[in-house]
Structure formats: structure tokens, C-alpha cells
Chains A and B, each alone.
Chain A
Amino acid sequence: MIPPRSVTIVGASLAGLRAAETLRREGYDGSITMIGDEPHLPYDRPPLSKQILSGEWPPERSGLTSAEALADAGIELLTSKRAIGFDLATRQLEFGDGGTLVVDGLILATGARCRRLRATDHLAGVHVLRGLDDVEGLRRELDTGPSRVVVVGAGFIGAEVAATVRTAGFEVTLVEAEATPLARVLGSEIGEVCAEIHRDHGVDLRTGVGVVSVEGSRRVESVGLSDGSRVAADILVVGIGVVPNTEWLEDSGLTIDNGVVCDQTSLAAPGVVAAGDVARWPNPRFNEVMRVEHWDNAVEQGAHAARRLLVDDSAAVAFAPVPWFWSDQYDRKIQMAGRGRPGDEMHLATGSFAERRFAVLYGRAGRLVGVVGFNRPRHVMRYKSMIEDGVSFENAVSADV
């Protein structure tokens, strides 16, 4: 195998950085250029909805690396530079500033961005939370007094924002279209536990209702809901999911379908790999084509994709992780591993819903496929190992953990 003469990474965040670091750790000595459209050095997103939104951490603490560390590793970083096109045939990248670059090895790590509510762009006080600039904008408004916060979407990000802002003393209304928050991910029983946790902390949780209008002249003033009610709002935070950043690759010759489509090994085309929130690939462990929006996946797939660029097709290995995720809300640490889903066989392995400290196992076709824990990190990890080992559901249920 002749390694690529150079490696270019588009997207300078978690997956891109871990890919660059892995190339060096594997002894790659060609040039590495990482290109990102944000003005910042790579930083970590999970603290944005937690410690940085709460003010517990200054924004700088989210940094994932330093200019010195990048220079020491021989990783060139170009910031505030946006890729707007790529042509697989000529291997040419095109940039928003008019520049072009012909690449050899290419790592696509452009992540995802937040969905927005239609027709709210003209209103001040409407926020999404994806980047440092978003959290700073939101914090600035929270600091200057307006106190009624409406969060749309009780998925993980929305729930974390509601928890953090409520803990800071603001009035919070959390609006969720489903009858139970997270029911489609965790099942309605566990979703109900999430709902109770919010309500116990004084969040006004409205479920089974959608947002039908957002009113205000210059600033948001209120939100109209599908049950006919209206909620006053000084700040509106929209947490209704993300979409992968692939528009710039539409005409590239790569396959784009809810992400950059890769083979099992993370390869999208010869010499082109993708990783993190933007990548979709068939995970042989679950026999499922997936795109995973989790921190650990960006780390692992970033590293995997980098190694993939350095080996022949014959030596390439499949990327077959057990996806794993955590979310911190109030004093609860929610963790999920595997691919459990409503409809699976479920078993309460430890604890109880009443004490909100438990681990639930998910079984499908006789196999342990998932685990969800509330303040049970040890159990989640033990069962995650069992999922990796292909343990049967029956054996997992009877295991002594």
C-alpha cells in the first residue's frame, strides 16, 4: 500500500481532529491539513448544553486541543474556510473564498447542523444550540434578564437545555410533539420517567403538542401550540434534531443519502472516508445501516477512518461499534449503549423506575442488543461489553453484574 501523499480533512471538530491525531499516532508522515468553517480551534460540544450554558465553565474550557499541540503534531488547521464543492473525478475541493485544492487522501467530517423552525429567522430571541457562538448568544440573552424560556423538542439536547436553564432559575416550558418524551428512543415507560423528572424540577412540560406559530415583531413574544394554547416566551430554544452537512457534496460523485454513504470500512470512494455525525455506513454487528450522532462515535469513527486511509482494501476492517451515548440532566446521568428500541423485549436488570436509578436491557431475536441506564454507569458498561461479545438475552438477564 502506498499511503496518500497528503491527507485533507474537511470539518475541524471532534471526528476530524481525532482522525488527524490518529494518522500521526499510526506513524503517517505526509502532510495533514484540517479545514473548518468555524473561526475556533476544535472544541467539544457536550459541555455547551451543560457546563458552559450554566456558566460553570468559561467557553475556553471546551477546547479539544491547542495551536501548539497541532503545530507539534504537524497538523495544519485552516479556520473560517468553508468547502462548497468537491469533484471526485478531479479530486478538487472548492471553497467559499474562491480557492481550490486538489487532494489525495480525504476525510469528510462536516458533522451536522440544527434543524430550524420555519419563518423565525427575522425574530431575535430564537436560538438553536450547536456551536460555541450559539451558546454565547443564548447566554448573553439569559444574562440580560428575560426570564421565560420555551424549549421546543424534548430530545436529548432540548432536555439538557431545559434542565440547565431551569436549574439556573428560569421559568421553562418544554414542548414535545410526542405523547411522551424520548418514547421513540427509550420506550414510553422510560420516557415517562424523563417526563416526571422535568416536572419535579418545575418545568412546565407540554406533550403531544406541536408549535404552530411563533409571534413577535422584532423579538419572539409568544409561541402558539397545536392545542390552541399560547405560551409567553422571551427566549425560544429550538431542539428539533439535526441534519448532516452534505449539501456541498451533492454533485461530488459520492453517494449522499441522509449522510455520506460509506461501505462497512468507512470508505466512501477510493481514498475518501467519512466519520462522525455526517457518515452513514452498514454496521455489520447490528446488520443495520446507521448514522450515529454521538460523541464516542465521532471519536471512534474518526480514528477508524484515518486508519482506513492507510491500508489496502484487502487489509481494511469493518467499523462495527456498539454505539454509546450519555446525557446529563439535573442529577441524572442517562446512558445508552447498543440499538435497543421500543418493541424489543425489555428487562429491568437493576434498580427501579421509582427511584429513577436503574438499568434496562433490550433483547431482540434472542440477543442482547441494548441497555439504558439512569445513574448506573457500571451496569451500562458491563452490558455494553456483553453486547460486544454477542451474549444472548437470556444469559444477559441472568448474569450477575
Chain B
Amino acid sequence: MGGGPDKKGVPMKIVVDYDLCESNAICMQILPEVFEVRDDDFLYVLDESPAEELRPKVEECVNRCPKQAISIEG
């Protein structure tokens, strides 16, 4: 679960499965600098490879997405 072991120097990459995403926007509430649901009701990832110190928050987004639509590579 979560992001797996830290790979030094390899930035994480956020992957959203848009077939699953239903724009519940819980990720936006947790990490508005990375996820944004706009008025068109679609989710936009503002930063696919955020700074490493945001990893715990990104993991929280992964866990709290009701559609399990978010995953982390790296």
C-alpha cells in the first residue's frame, strides 16, 4: 500500500485513472496545490510530480479516494 520504498532521486508520479475518477474532490480538499476539480466537474492534476515531502499527503489522497482512482508510481 501507499508509495512503497523511497527511491532516492526518482520523483513520484501521480497517476489518475480517469475511467474511475468521479470528481468527488476529496483529493482536492487534502492537497489543493496538486488536485483541482473545476466547475466543469473534471479533476485536473496541477502537479504530477510534487515534492517528496508531500508524499504522505498524496498517500492520504490515494487512501481516501472513494473510487480508488489515484495511484503513485515511484
Contact = CB atoms under 8 A, between A and B. Distances in A.
Interface of A: 18, 21, 24-25, 44, 46, 64, 69, 73, 295-296, 299-300, 303, 324, 326, 328, 333, 335, 375, 377-378, 380-382, 384-385
Nearest to B27: A381
B49 interface: no
B66 A295 contact: yes
16 contacts: A21-B1, A21-B63, A24-B1, A25-B2, A44-B68, A46-B66, A69-B1, A300-B64, A328-B22, A333-B23, A377-B37, A378-B25, A378-B38, A381-B28, A381-B29, A384-B29
A381 B66 CA distance: 14
A65 to B, nearest CB: 8
A37 B63 CA distance: 24
A377 B64 contact: no
Contacts, number: 49
Contact of B63 (A299, A382, A385): A299
A297 B28 CA distance: 17
Contacts of B25: 377-378, 380-381
A69 B68 CA distance: 15
Contact of B24 (A18, A300, A333): A333
Contacts of A326: 24, 66
Nearest to B29: A381
B63 A324 contact: no
B72 to A, nearest CB: 14
Given A326-B24, A326-B66, A378 B2 contact: no
A206 to B, nearest CB: 30
B18 to A, nearest CB: 15
B66 to A, nearest CB: 6
A240 B41 CA distance: 32
Interface string B3-37: 00000000000000000001111101100000011
A303 B36 CA distance: 25
Interface residues of B, number: 18
Given A299-B63, A377-B37, A381-B29, 20 more contacts: A21-B63, A24-B1, A25-B1, A46-B66, A64-B68, A73-B1, A296-B26, A296-B64, A296-B66, A303-B63, A324-B26, A326-B24, A333-B23, A377-B24, A378-B39, A380-B25, A381-B28, A381-B37, A384-B29, A385-B29
Contacts of B38: 378
B47 to A, nearest CB: 18
B17 to A, nearest CB: 12
A243 to B, nearest CB: 24
A195 to B, nearest CB: 24
B28 to A, nearest CB: 5
A299 B2 contact: no
Most B CB within 10 A of own CB, among A21, A326, A384: A326
Interface string B33-66: 0001111010000000000000000000001101
Given A299-B63, A333-B22, A385-B29, A377 B41 contact: yes
A153 to B, nearest CB: 22
